[in-house]
Amino acid sequence: MSDDDFLRVEASDCPMSSCAAPAGSPCRTGKSKVAVQYHTARFRLVPSLAKALHIPTPPIRNPGTAWIELPRPEAAGAEPAGHVRIGYARASTVRQSLDTQLDSLKTAGVTRIYSEKISTRATSRPELERAVALARELRASGVAVTLVVHEHKRLGRGIELATLAEQLKAGGIGLEFLTGELQGSHDPSGIVFTVLAALSGMEREYIRDRTLEGHESARSRGKSIGGAAVTDDAMLAIALHLREQNHSLRDIASRLVITTGKKKGQHPSAATVMRMLREHDQQTATTADP
């Protein structure tokens, strides 16, 4: 359960005839006390909570005290009742740490945080999708919502950032960056944000083009790019066999021997073995696709 569940439950009237609490107010008991938990028939009106066993009434509603009707949520387009900030953190690889981002979000007072380790080039980022889905649901209940991120690069650049901004704009969701070029709160539909997002995309393309130019220049002078290959088909076959027997990457690496180059006679690193197996798996998956 999250700290925001009660807001979603209270977005609807309680259908229990013995309660009939209006939207915006907690459920009540037969003795007109604030119920210690919301009635099942009410919280099951929220799709994401339909399978929950119970939703407790938060301390802010003073469960057990005399029940009084609270203001209904404002209609769409009116001033939002309350403000919720939802955090999102992302690292591109499994080896990268999320600690800096998570600490930054917590220091900023964000308590509900979604995080994942996945590339911005991935077609689907499940945790980001969950964060946006929750933001939409809360916004629909009349609450102002802001998606908070440590830095805009965690969301993407250029077209990726612009696309997400359109989704947030459509849902009436704000956006806040805690640091970086776009630091501050933004209206995703604002012209300033659109221009800065486009510039951040141009920066990445510029870096990419300069890198490729450098590689091409090095090749033209007879220099090789990247480290020397230490793996071969025989090594891959042995590694695949050992993996099928559930050996660890470190164990597999200790049983393999490099046969050529400056590292001849040495064992490859566990990272090299992991990369070799991953490339094999990716090639196999690509070949298997119709």
| Residues acting as catalytic residues | 92
Phi, psi of 240 (to 5 degrees): -65, -40
Phi, psi of 199 (to 5 degrees): -65, -35
Contact 140, 10 (CB under 8 A): no
Tell me the C-alpha to C-alpha distance, in Å, between residue 64 and each of 11, 16, 27, 67.
21, 18, 11, 8
Contact 149, 127 (CB under 8 A): no
What does the alpha-carbon distance between residue 15 and residue 257 come to, in Å, rounded to a whole number?
Answer: 70
- 26 contact partners, CB below 8 Å, separation of at least 6: 6, 10, 34, 35, 38, 57, 61, 63, 67, 70
Contact 143, 7 (CB under 8 A): yes
Structure tokens at 261: 């180059």
Structure tokens at 155: 């969301």
